[in-house]
């Protein structure tokens, strides 16, 4: 078979579409001419809101992740179109921060009507939230447009706390993300909390006879069962990072290595050969001198995630309010 240049280009395009990362270009400073104050407005809104809610950095970071993992980073999770709204999917249980995005959108519409997408606001807000938690500051490529579809049935394949490491790797691969991004984006659990609801099986019914997950460090198990007692309040929230739930750092990777992971999926990262090697690369004794930079690699993973199934150019729309299609 003779491969012409056109056939090669077509094949490459199909591969890229298959793995989920869009070929469309975003650009840092996309709004520099059309709405030069866009990023500063988002930053001010996020900073102001964080004063009354110290958990906001984790909330906005999670919102960005959940938005990107359904129809791509297109603001579909923000839409309220009744009982079928994507935001009501079980996989989005506990996702919050919608009012912060809407507040930023209102200010942007007053300054630059019809210019800045809700999808970009979500990405920018996540970046600003990470910085507020003492995480890395980085530039966000913008130029996304908002999607025109929001349906809870589309969120049925969201990563779940009960997923095995193989299932997680497959779900990430389908979005064009690999084992390294799985580890790095899971490390976002360095900030924020989870509900005891998601801990019940791991603590009280992981093995026959009501035994806990054996990968939990014996020193840590009593802490978890005290925080989430059997038959206790499943809505009680506990930190996902044992020592620094409001500080963005790589401590969670050390916790995973030492058996102090809170979530089953985080613990699973150390049970798989590929992901264990990645975790170890960031927490080894020689890492500060010779190892990779966790913060730098986390930023790369965030930017890559932010390009899943993009809608740009004439695809999609720029909503006037984030909770409703135009």
In the predicted structure, residue 8 carries a pLDDT above the cut 50: no
Residue 24: band (very low, low, confident or very high) from pLDDT cuts 50, 70, 90: low
Query: Which residues have a Cβ under 8 Å from the Cβ of 305 and sit 6 or more positions away?
Result: 64, 65, 68, 73, 175, 177, 181, 185
Say what the pLDDT of residue 21 is: 52
Residue 288: band (very low, low, confident or very high) from pLDDT cuts 50, 70, 90: confident
User: Percent of the chain, pLDDT > 70?
Assistant: 93
Q: Six-digit token pair at 247?
A: 């500080």
pLDDT digits (tens, 9 = 90+) for 126-178: 999 999 999 999 999 999 999 999 999 999 999 999 999 999 999 999 999 99
Say what the pLDDT of residue 284 is: 81
pLDDT digits (tens, 9 = 90+) for 185-205: 999 999 999 999 999 999 999
The answer to whether 159 is annotated as binding is yes
Mean pLDDT of the residues in the chain:
92
Q: What's the burial of 302, exposed, middle or buried (CB within 10 Å: 0-12/13-18/19+)?
A: buried
Residue 17: band (very low, low, confident or very high) from pLDDT cuts 50, 70, 90: very low
Neighbours of 85 (CB within 10 A): 18
Average the pLDDT over 239-268 and give the result. Answer: 95
The answer to whether 85 is annotated as binding is no
Of the candidates 68, 283, 58, which has an alpha carbon nearest to the alpha carbon of residue 189?
58
Architecture of domain 165-305: Orthogonal Bundle (1.10)
In the residue annotation, 64 being an active-site residue is answered as no
The answer to whether 76 is annotated as binding is yes
End-to-end CA distance of the chain: 48
User: Percent of the chain, pLDDT > 90?
Assistant: 88
Backbone angles phi, psi at 86, to 5 degrees: -55, -35
Q: Which of 64, 66, 92, 178 is catalytic?
A: 66
Average the pLDDT over 108-133 and give the result. Answer: 98
pLDDT digits (tens, 9 = 90+) for 200-233: 999 999 999 999 999 999 999 999 999 999 999 9
- Domain parsing of the chain, residue ranges: 37-154, 165-305
pLDDT digits (tens, 9 = 90+) for 35-47: 999 999 999 999 9
The answer to whether 272 is annotated as binding is no
Architecture of domain 37-154: Orthogonal Bundle (1.10)
The answer to whether 70 is annotated as binding is yes
Average the pLDDT over 49-62 and give the result. Answer: 96
What does pTM read for this prediction?
A: 0.90
Say what the pLDDT of residue 67 is: 98
């Amino acid at each position: 078979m003779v491969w012409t240049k056109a056939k090669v280009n077509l094949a490459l395009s199909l591969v890229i579409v298959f793995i989920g990362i869009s070929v469309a270009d975003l650009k840092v400073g996309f709004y520099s001419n059309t709405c030069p104050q866009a990023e500063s407005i988002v930053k001010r809104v996020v900073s102001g809101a964080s004063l009354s809610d110290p958990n906001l950095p984790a909330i906005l970071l999670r919102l960005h992740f959940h938005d990107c993992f359904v129809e791509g980073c297109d603001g579909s999770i923000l839409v309220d179109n009744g009982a079928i709204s994507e935001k009501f999917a079980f996989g989005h249980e506990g996702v919050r921060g919608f009012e912060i995005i809407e507040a930023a959108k209102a200010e942007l519409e007053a300054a630059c009507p019809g210019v800045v997408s809700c999808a970009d606001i979500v990405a920018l807000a996540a970046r600003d939230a990470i910085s507020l938690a003492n995480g890395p500051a980085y530039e966000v490529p913008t130029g996304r447009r908002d999607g025109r579809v929001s349906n809870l049935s589309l969120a049925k394949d969201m990563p779940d706390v009960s997923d095995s490491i193989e299932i997680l790797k497959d779900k990430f691969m389908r979005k064009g993300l690999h084992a390294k991004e799985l580890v790095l984006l899971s490390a976002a659990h360095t900030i924020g909390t989870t509900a005891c609801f998601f801990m019940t099986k791991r603590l009280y019914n992981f093995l026959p006879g009501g035994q806990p997950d054996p990968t939990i460090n014996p020193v840590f198990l009593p802490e978890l069962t005290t925080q989430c007692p059997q038959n206790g309040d499943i809505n009680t929230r506990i930190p996902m990072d044992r020592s620094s739930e409001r500080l963005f750092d790589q401590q969670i990777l050390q916790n995973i290595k030492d058996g102090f992971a809170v979530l089953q999926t985080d613990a699973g990262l150390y049970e798989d050969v590929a992901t264990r090697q990645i975790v170890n690369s960031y927490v080894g004794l020689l890492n500060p001198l010779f190892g990779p930079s966790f913060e730098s690699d986390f930023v790369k993973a965030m930017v890559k995630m932010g390009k899943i199934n993009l809608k740009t150019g004439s695809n999609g729309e720029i909503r006037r309010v984030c909770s409703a299609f135009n």
